[in-house]
Amino acid sequence: MNFKKNSWCWVLLFALAACHEEKVETVAPAPVFYPVSVTRTASYSPDTLRTEYTYNQANQITKETIFKNGSLQNVNLFAYTPDGKLAEKSYFNEKNEQKEKDVISYQPAQNTFRLDHAYVNAGVATPHHFRIHETNAAGEVIKWTDFAQPTGNLLNTRTYQYSASGYVFSPFYGNQNQHLNSSQIMLDARNTPLKNTQINLVPYAGNELKHEIIDPSGQNISAYSQAITYNEAGYPLEIIQTHQDGVVKTEKYTYREK
């Protein structure tokens, strides 16, 4: 065989063999988890609170059942719009009596949504206040304002400023638009327990690592930090919240995978 004449054939054969042996690596999708329960304790109380979540076939939370020391305390029911947004939350006591109700309506063209809160007595709802949420282009809530019902008088306002570093600055104002305090929050940029649900109307892009409340002059009012243990997918399994006054609160989560 004339090697020089056939050298390009050999090169081509080796290249084809290399292509044939090359393995295409596929990236597995990140696992999606939904909370099944959360157990809460606090150092100042012997009580244990346990919340259990019930889902429908669309993986939406439809019921939140809360137990105190093993006894039923509250049940909250959730309903959704056809496109999957939270539309209603109803609060019931341990006797299955409805006590409160939230109704949420959306105005996407104005980048706003509204929550109407009412107290319920013997099946009769009495409006208490409504809250207007304003969102940015990313869908993040940047401001909410509470108004009394039926007067429409201003009650209070909170704004949110987000940064790419996971810092959230959130001033709070009173009914005369006076600055009362501000929250300074650091997030971990990891999955929150309720990330894949719609029941939290002001979700953060991560779990809180530190939360400090300061007065208008910048002086500390209160603060807490959180130590978090995560599962393999980055969802919190345990959150230990330590306050500057020594109070310690603990949350322990269980999940199911989608």
Number of helical H runs and strand E runs in the chain: 1, 17
Q: What is the pLDDT of residue 23?
A: 62
Q: What is the pLDDT of residue 6?
A: 53
Nearest 10 degrees: Cα torsion 186, 191, 194, 195: 100
Nearest 10 degrees: Cα torsion 38, 39, 42, 45: 140
| Sequential DSSP letters for 12-79 | HHHHHHHHHHPPPP-PPPPP-EEEEEEEEEETTEEEEEEEEEEE-TTS-EEEEEEEETTEEEEEEEEE
Burial class (CB in 10 A: 0-12, 13-18, 19+), 149: middle
| Cβ atoms of 99 and 119 closer than 8 Å | yes
| Cβ atoms of 176 and 197 closer than 8 Å | no
Q: What is the pLDDT of residue 258?
A: 86
Nearest 10 degrees: Cα torsion 208, 214, 219, 225: -20
Q: Which domains does the chain have, with CATH numbers?
A: 30-257 (2.40.160.190)
Query: At 113, is the secondary structure helix, strand, or coil?
Result: strand
Residues of the chain scoring pLDDT < 70: 1-24
Q: What is the pLDDT of residue 30?
A: 87
Task: Please compute, for residue 29, the number of CA atoms within 13 A of its CA located in the half-sphere on the CB side.
Answer: 5
Q: What is the pLDDT of residue 7?
A: 52
Q: Residue 167 and residue 240: Cα distance in Å, rounded?
A: 20
pTM of the model: 0.86
Query: At 213, is the secondary structure helix, strand, or coil?
Result: strand
